[in-house]
C-alpha cells in the first residue's frame, strides 16, 4: 500500500505539492486541477496499474450516463447506470462469496478463482451512484469533466473515504485562487492533522493490534478463551479500529487541506455516543449519510408507519454490513446494528418524555452503548462464526474468575475470595491493561483532533456537531514553538514506526 511506503511520504507527496503550489501561485487554476487529476491517477496506479483502466472506464461511463440522465430525466437510463455500477462491484467484491454459497446451499460444483478486490471500488462506486441519482433529480447541471474526474479520484479521499458528495466538492474546484486560504496556513494545518493521524495509526492502532490479533488468531484455531483474554482481545480490537479509522480520517482531511480543499468530516468521537443512533451519526459519517439518502429514504424511510420504518432500518443496516465485506459475519454485524437501532428508536418512542439529563443516567447509557458496540465488533473482526462464538463465550463466562499467574505476587490475597492464578496464553498482562486503560481514557474523555483545532474549521460538516470544550483531558491547538517542537517529535516517531506499519483496516472494504 502506498501509505505504507516511504515513496509516498518522501517522493510522491512533495512532488505533488510543489507542482500544485507552483501552479496555484501563478494563478493557473485549470492546470492545477488537471495536475491534481494526474497525481491522483498515478497514486491509484501505484497499487496496481491494471486497475487504472477500471476506474477510468467507470468515470467515463458514469459521466456520460450522468449527463444523459440529467437531460432526459429518464428512470430507465438511471436504472441501467445503477445496475452497471452494482454489477461491477458485485463481480469484484461478491462473486467469489456468491459462488461459495451457491455451492454450499445447492450442492453445486462451480469454481472461481478468488478475485483481487480493486482498491477503493466500494468508495468510488457509491460516490458515482449518488451522482447518478442526483442527476436524475436535476441537481448536477453543467459539470466539467475534469472536475468530475477529480471529484471521483482525488487521492486523499479515494482509498478509504470519506464518501464525498459532488455538491460539497465540485464548487471547491471552481473557486478562484484568491478565495482560498493562504498557502502557508493550508500547509501548517494540513501537515499538523496529517501527522497527528499518522501517529494514531502507526503508534496507537498498530500497538494495540498486537493483542487483538493474538486473541482472534487463537479463536480462529479453535482455542478456548477465559473471561479476561476474551475481553482483552475484544477491547483491543475496538480500540484498534477506532484509532485506525480516526487516524486515516485525520490524514485524509489533512491532505485535503494541503491542497486547499476541505473534505467532509467522517469521524467524530463515536465511543462518546449515548446511544446507537448517535454512534452512527459519529462513525463513518459519510457512509451513514449515503445509506440514509440513497437506501433508507428510497425504501420509504419513516413515512409508512412504524413497522415499515423498522423494516427499512433493518434492511439498510444489513446492506451496510454487506458493503463492509463479502462474508456472513459482516452481514450479521449489520443485522446486530439494525436490531440495536430498532430497539433504540422503539425506546425513544415509548419513553419520549423521559429526558433525564442527570449524569448517572447518561453514564449508564454510554456504558451500555459501548458494550453493545464491543460485542458487535467481535463478529466484524472474526473470520468465522465459530471463532466469534468462542470469544463471545469467553466474554460471557463471568464465573471463570482467574487471573494471570504473574499477578499473583501483588494480588495473591484474592485467593481467599476464590480467584485462581493460572498462565494466560493470550493475554500480555500489565502492559496490555495499561495501554487499554490509557486509550479508553482518550476515546472517552479527550477532545478529538477536530475539537482541538476547532478555530480553523478544517473540515466540512463541523457545524452539525456541538463542539464540546468541557473535557476531562484538555488540549487546545495554538501555534507556538512548543507545539511545533511537539509535533516534530510526533512526526519523527510516526515516520520511524512506518517500517512496521500494517494496512489501514478500511482499505479492504
Catalytic residues: 324
Q: Is 269 left (phi over 0), alpha (psi -120 to 50) or beta?
A: left
Spatial distance between the Cα atoms of 355 and 268, rounded to a whole number of angstroms: 23
Report the Cα 408 to chain-centroid distance in Å.
40
What are the b/e assignments for 316-334, b being 16+ CB within 10 Å? Answer: bbbbbbbbbbbbbbbbbbb
Spatial distance between the Cα atoms of 454 and 196, rounded to a whole number of angstroms: 15
CA distances from 213 to 120, 205, 217, 427 (A): 24, 12, 6, 11
Residue with cell 512526526: 491
Q: Are the C-beta atoms of 141 and 69 separated by less than 8 Å?
A: no
Return the C-alpha torsion angle 401, 405, 407, 412, nearest 10.
Answer: 70
Instruction: Extract the C-alpha cell encoding 352.
Output: 419520549
Spatial distance between the Cα atoms of 9 and 4, rounded to a whole number of angstroms: 9
Strand residues in 233-308 grouped as ranges (E): none
**Alpha helices per DSSP H over 259-305:** 276-282, 285-291, 297-299
Instruction: Extract the C-alpha cell encoding 214.
Output: 493474538
Instruction: Tell which residue, 488, 505, 496, has the closest CA to residue 6.
Output: 496
Instruction: Tell which residue, 122, 51, 129, has the closest CA to residue 322.
Output: 122
Q: What is the DSSP letter of 175?
A: S
Q: Are the C-beta atoms of 503 and 1 separated by less than 8 Å?
A: yes
Handedness of CA 380, 381, 383, 387 (dihedral sign): negative
* Half-sphere exposure (Cβ direction) of 434: Cα atoms closer than 13 Å: 3
Spatial distance between the Cα atoms of 41 and 37, rounded to a whole number of angstroms: 6
Spatial distance between the Cα atoms of 325 and 169, rounded to a whole number of angstroms: 27
SS3 for 325?
coil
Residue with cell 514506526: 497
Spatial distance between the Cα atoms of 90 and 86, rounded to a whole number of angstroms: 6
Spatial distance between the Cα atoms of 483 and 214, rounded to a whole number of angstroms: 36
Spatial distance between the Cα atoms of 334 and 469, rounded to a whole number of angstroms: 33
Amino acid at each position: 500500500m502506498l501509505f505504507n511506503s516511504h515513496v509516498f511520504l518522501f517522493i510522491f507527496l512533495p512532488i505533488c505539492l510543489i507542482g500544485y503550489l507552483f501552479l496555484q501561485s501563478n494563478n493557473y487554476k485549470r492546470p492545477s486541477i488537471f495536475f491534481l487529476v494526474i497525481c491522483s491517477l498515478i497514486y491509484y496506479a501505484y497499487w496496481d496499474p491494471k486497475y487504472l483502466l477500471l476506474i477510468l472506464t467507470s468515470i467515463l461511463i458514469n459521466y456520460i450516463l450522468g449527463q444523459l440522465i440529467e437531460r432526459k430525466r429518464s428512470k430507465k437510463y438511471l436504472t441501467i447506470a445503477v445496475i452497471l455500477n452494482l454489477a461491477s462491484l458485485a463481480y469484484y467484491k461478491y462473486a467469489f462469496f456468491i459462488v461459495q454459497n451457491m455451492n454450499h446451499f445447492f450442492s453445486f460444483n462451480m469454481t472461481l478463482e478468488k478475485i483481487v478486490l480493486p482498491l477503493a471500488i466500494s468508495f468510488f462506486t457509491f460516490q458515482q451512484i449518488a451522482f447518478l441519482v442526483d442527476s436524475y433529480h436535476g441537481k448536477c447541471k453543467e459539470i466539467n469533466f475534469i472536475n468530475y474526474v477529480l471529484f471521483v479520484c482525488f487521492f486523499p479521499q479515494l482509498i478509504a473515504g470519506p464518501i464525498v458528495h459532488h455538491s460539497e466538492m465540485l464548487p471547491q474546484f471552481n473557486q478562484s485562487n484568491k478565495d482560498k486560504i493562504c498557502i502557508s496556513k493550508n500547509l501548517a494545518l494540513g501537515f499538523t492533522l496529517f501527522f497527528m493521524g499518522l501517529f494514531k495509526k502507526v503508534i496507537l492502532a498498530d500497538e494495540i493490534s498486537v493483542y487483538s490479533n493474538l486473541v482472534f488468531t487463537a479463536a480462529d484455531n479453535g482455542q478456548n478463551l477465559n473471561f479476561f483474554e476474551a475481553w482483552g482481545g475484544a477491547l483491543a480490537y475496538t480500540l484498534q479500529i477506532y484509532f485506525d479509522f480516526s487516524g486515516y480520517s485525520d490524514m485524509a482531511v489533512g491532505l485535503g487541506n494541503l491542497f486547499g480543499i476541505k473534505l467532509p468530516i467522517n469521524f467524530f468521537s463515536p465511543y462518546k455516543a449515548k446511544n446507537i443512533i448517535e454512534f452512527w451519526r459519529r462513525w463513518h459519517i459519510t457512509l451513514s449519510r449515503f445509506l440514509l439518502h440513497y437506501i433508507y429514504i428510497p425504501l420509504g424511510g419513516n413515512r409508512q408507519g412504524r413497522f415499515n420504518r423498522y423494516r427499512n432500518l433493518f434492511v439498510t443496516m444489513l446492506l451496510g454490513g454487506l458493503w463492509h465485506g463479502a462474508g456472513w459475519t459482516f452481514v450479521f454485524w449489520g443485522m446486530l446494528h439494525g436490531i440495536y437501532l430498532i430497539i433504540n428508536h422503539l425506546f425513544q418512542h415509548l419513553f419520549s418524555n423521559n429526558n433525564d439529563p442527570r449524569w448517572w443516567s447518561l453514564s449508564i447509557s454510554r456504558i451500555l452503548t459501548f458494550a453493545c458496540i464491543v460485542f458487535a465488533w467481535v463478529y466484524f473482526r472474526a473470520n468465522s462464526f465459530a471463532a466469534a462464538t468462542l470469544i463471545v463465550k469467553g466474554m460471557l463466562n463471568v464465573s471463570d474468575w482467574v487471573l494471570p499467574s504473574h499477578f499473583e505476587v501483588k494480588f495473591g490475597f484474592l485467593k481467599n475470595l476464590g480467584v485462581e492464578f493460572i498462565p494466560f496464553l493470550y493475554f500480555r498482562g500489565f502492559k496490555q491493561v495499561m495501554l487499554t486503560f490509557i486509550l479508553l481514557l482518550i476515546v472517552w474523555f479527550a477532545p478529538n483532533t477536530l475539537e482541538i483545532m476547532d478555530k480553523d474549521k478544517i473540515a466540512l460538516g463541523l457545524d452539525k456537531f456541538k463542539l464540546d470544550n468541557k473535557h476531562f483531558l484538555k488540549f487546545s491547538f495554538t501555534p507556538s514553538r512548543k507545539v511545533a517542537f511537539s509535533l516534530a517529535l510526533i512526526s519523527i516517531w510516526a515516520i520511524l514506526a512506518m517500517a512496521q506499519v500494517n494496512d489501514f483496516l478500511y482499505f479492504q472494504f
